[in-house]
Amino acid sequence: MFACRVSTNPAGRVSALRGLGQLPTSFSALCTRQPGVRSISTAVHFYQNRQLEEYASKPATRLTLRQLVFFGKSMNEERLIKSANYVRTELPIRIAHRLRDMQALPYVVVTQEGVAKVYELYWTAFDKFRRYPEITTLEENDAFCTFVRGLLNDHKSVIPNLSLGLSLSSPYLLPDRLDTFMRRMLVSRISRRVLAEHHIALTESVKSQGQSSQVQENVGIICTGLQVQDSIERCVRYLRKRPRDIDEDVFSGSLNDAEWSEVIVDGHKDTRFAYIREHLEYIIFELLKNSLRATRQKHPSVRVLPPIRVTVVASDNDVYLRISDQGGGLISPEIKSPSDLFSFSHVRNATRLADARLGALRTLSSSQQGMTATVSEQIGKWQRDSDGDAPAQGVNPHPRIGIGLPMSNIYATYFGGTLELVSLDGYGTDVYVRLPKLGKNLEGIEL
């Protein structure tokens, strides 16, 4: 067994383990457990970097939502195989960028519970994609989809692991550095899952071509005529049926109307646009959940609770949603500014280091329950569980881990939208979501 010799240069980066001769294939084989170090299983990859350098030096080929739709609209065998090879060659580039980001973290962060696991998952996925042979036939594409589905499944625990590791690292990282790192990890993860799931959905649609006489509303995972009101109502119906998702402490059993704020939808109620339903419904679901919980807690002894109003507006370029509640606003002793709720740093948001939250993250990290299956699997599961009533959002009901708002913000901004919170302290909260409706913005930043 090797001893793990790691030193940190003045910039806080890992800079040791040179000259060890033949290197073992994983960090776990390299390291013994060090006092104060929780779990190390990765770093030899830090020194097998040639392939990684090559991929990390290539820029990601970012796409717009419109490109995803146009390319997927008239699918045939040739285009499907092109799509498969794009995913095969693009994902290792995007993963390589994130592996490089992780390598640049101070060593004390890499050793936190959860971080090593994510690094290992990404390294394995990178290596498998890099070695995957070119796809030339439909049969090979089927095998490729099975391979990608497996990785999507393996990566379900990434978010709880990453949230746990970075929360524990919060004392060692400046808030801006921590938040920038997390944002890039999360945006990039969404982008990779979108490309992978889109390709799988396109493959399924090619297979079912001719079997359905219905008008095709979906192109891959994009719903070309997504009805905003419909999505809001699905979220409301689902929350009504599952009050424990709103607040475990306050509700038990089914909600009756007296315990529940009415959700009123107004504005341009017939708005439709091309978007990923899973993303829109994730945002609406999380925001409504917060509003319902806050309103209930603010008015504990009121028989008829103040309503929550969702205003939908479509302009030439954007779709807007404003969700207004009377839940008392956002400012608390722990939160000084609404945007601190997006932060993963305990300096900005003290709840990040709360024991209950860390405990819930630990449970989720090890349970493999994870955060997101493929879109089609998720919809299938909801249909079985709740007669198709559930929203297409990617989070299984779970204890409060404080990820809903930052993730909603990241989903909203992924294709160039915005999410802003305005607290009317002591009265309520207005959340403004803007989503570009023409699909012309490139995905994310620095993928």
Instruction: Name the site residues for ligand COI (rule: CB under 6 A).
Output: 91, 125, 148, 151-152, 155, 158, 189, 192-193, 196
CB of 160 to ligand COI, least distance (A): 12
| Spatial CA neighbour of 173 closest among 347, 394, 377 | 347
- Tell me the residue nearest to ligand COI as measured from the CB: 155
CB of 98 to ligand COI, least distance (A): 8
CB of 153 to ligand COI, least distance (A): 9
CB of 190 to ligand COI, least distance (A): 9
Q: Which is nearer to ligand COI, 98 or 346 (CB)?
A: 98
Maximum separation of any 2 CA atoms in the chain, in Å: 73
Cα–Cα dist 384/380, whole Å: 6
CB of 445 to ligand COI, least distance (A): 17
Q: At what angle do helices 175-207 and 65-73 cross, to 10 degrees?
A: 10
If you search the block for the tokens 């929780």, which residue do you land on? 38
If you search the block for the tokens 């559930």, which residue do you land on? 390
Q: Which is nearer to ligand COI, 228 or 375 (CB)?
A: 375
Q: How far is CA 189 from CA 8, 118, 445, in A?
A: 28, 12, 12
CB of 122 to ligand COI, least distance (A): 7
Q: Which is nearer to ligand COI, 155 or 398 (CB)?
A: 155
CB of 128 to ligand COI, least distance (A): 9
CB of 371 to ligand COI, least distance (A): 9
SS3 58: coil
Strands 308-314 and 263-267, sheet pairing: parallel
β partners of residue 308? 263
Show Cβ contacts of residue 416 under 8 Å, excluding neighbours closer than 6 positions. Answer: 436, 441, 442
- Is residue 442 within 8 A of residue 62, CB to CB? The reply is yes
Q: Which is nearer to ligand COI, 79 or 149 (CB)?
A: 149
CB of 7 to ligand COI, least distance (A): 30
Q: Which is nearer to ligand COI, 343 or 374 (CB)?
A: 374
Show Cβ contacts of residue 343 under 8 Å, excluding neighbours closer than 6 positions. Answer: 175, 178, 179, 349, 352, 406
Q: Which is nearer to ligand COI, 31 or 196 (CB)?
A: 196
SS3 286: helix
Q: Which is nearer to ligand COI, 168 or 185 (CB)?
A: 185
Q: Which is nearer to ligand COI, 192 or 289 (CB)?
A: 192
Q: How far is CA 218 from CA 285, 369, 428, 438, 440, in A?
A: 21, 27, 37, 16, 18
Q: Which is nearer to ligand COI, 98 or 434 (CB)?
A: 98
CB of 356 to ligand COI, least distance (A): 26
| Spatial CA neighbour of 51 closest among 126, 125, 115 | 126
Cα–Cα dist 135/380, whole Å: 28
Cα–Cα dist 133/84, whole Å: 11
- Is residue 89 within 8 A of residue 109, CB to CB? The reply is no
| Spatial CA neighbour of 75 closest among 232, 257, 198 | 198
What secondary structure letter does DSSP report for 109? Answer: H
CB of 159 to ligand COI, least distance (A): 8
Q: Which is nearer to ligand COI, 193 or 434 (CB)?
A: 193
Q: Which is nearer to ligand COI, 158 or 319 (CB)?
A: 158
